[in-house]
Amino acid sequence: MTRQQVLDQYFIETRHKLIDIAAFLDRADRAEGEADFRLDAFRTAIKELSGKKPGRAEKVLLAFSDPTTKPIAKAHGKGACGAWSAKG
């Protein structure tokens, strides 16, 4: 695909997704109470979007990922929350 074709195919839907992200951050700002580590992780990941080099999707995923290498002692629950916290 040419760059022009990419824009023709994907600009409107991606613009829509970007505004959704902005609205989510506004919603979180308007809300009361303390945030948790997920909002910080989100803000850190967003910085990857303004990078000049390719691989942004990978870098965003890495920003949310557990960087440790050893198995945990025990699984407490089954779900994942989408961001990693050093505090566990």
Partner 1 sequence: MRYIEPHGHMVSRTTDDYQDMVTAGCAAVCEPAFWAGFDRSSVDGFHDYFCQLTDYEPKRAAKFGLPHYSWLCINPKESEDVKLAQEVIGIIPQFIDRPNVLGIGEIGLNKNSRNEMKVLELHVDLAARTNSLILVHTPHLEDKLKGTRLILDVLRSDKRIQPERCIIDHVEEHTIGLVLDAGFWAGMTLYPESKCSPSRAVDMLDCFGHERIWMNSACDWGVSIPLAVPRTALEMRRRAWNADLVDKVIFRNPAQFMSQCPKFKLPQT
Residues lying near partner 1 in the complex (CB under 8 A) are found at 1, 9-10, 55, 57-58, 61-62, 64-69, 71-84
Cβ distance to partner 1 smaller for residue 30 or 71: 71
CA neighbor of 22 nearest in space, from 49, 59, 62: 49
Please give the distance of CA 67 from its chain centroid, rounded to a whole number.
15
Place of tokens 């691989």: 55
| Min CB(57)–partner 1 separation in Å | 4
| Min CB(17)–partner 1 separation in Å | 10
Q: What are phi and psi of 3, to 5 degrees?
A: -60, -35
Residues, the chain, total? 88
Cβ distance to partner 1 smaller for residue 10 or 25: 10
| Min CB(29)–partner 1 separation in Å | 23
Cβ distance to partner 1 smaller for residue 33 or 79: 79
d(CA 87, CA 1): 44
